[in-house]
Amino acid sequence: MLGGGGVDGAIHRAAGPALLEACRQVPEVRSGVRCPTGEARITPGGELPAKWVIHTVGPVYHSPERSAPLLEAAYRNSLELANQQGLKRVAFPAISCGVFGYPLGEAAEIAVRTAKAEAGGLEEVAFMLFDQKTLDVWLQAAKAAGLQEEGSSGSGGGEL
């Protein structure tokens, strides 16, 4: 939540110092932890076009039995917060698929299945993906779940 690397760092750089200040206002649940793995928190979006940022922590991948429930919880709790806040749209990265080592196929299936089941009143759940390989895997998961992509971009990743 405090602007480390990866997606978190990119969001913080784009949002400016107001997001960092909002994150610092989120109480610690234990020393140094504001958002435990699988949980979600919401803050104002700072200078982002989005009014809100939902923060979640996905698991470091160990095994499907150990990691899958935590990844599903990260998506589910984020969607629940979006619905509680009355949001209409939410966008996710491929949670835990970078340095946390989650296999793309397993992560995509969990992400798409959870979004389909837990979208609630949201009009749109988008996945903003880093590269073409990740996009292709998510598109396969969406197809397997009986979903149709709204739009995708060719080279360099895209949106599902």
| Closest to 46 in 3D by CA, of 22, 74, 62, 24 | 22
Does the active-site annotation cover 136? no
Neighbouring residues of 140: CB distance < 8 A, sequence distance ≥ 6 = 105, 108
Q: How confident is the model at residue 33 (pLDDT cuts 50, 70, 90)?
A: very high
Domain ranges of the chain: 6-159
Mapping DSSP to helix (H, G, I), strand (E, B) and coil, where does residue 91 land?
Answer: strand
Sheet containing 124-129: give its strands across: 89-92, 124-129, 158-159
Q: What is the mean pLDDT of residues 80-91?
A: 97
- 31 vs 13: CA distance, rounded Å: 25
Res 155: pLDDT: 43
Is the pLDDT score of 4 beyond 80?
A: no
Of the residues 8, 80, 149, 159, which is catalytic?
A: 8
| CATH class assigned to 6-159 | alpha beta
The answer to whether the Cα torsion of 119, 99, 145, 67 is positive or negative is negative
Q: What is the mean pLDDT of residues 30-35?
A: 93
Q: How confident is the model at residue 154 (pLDDT cuts 50, 70, 90)?
A: very low
| Whole-number percent of the chain with pLDDT over 70 | 91
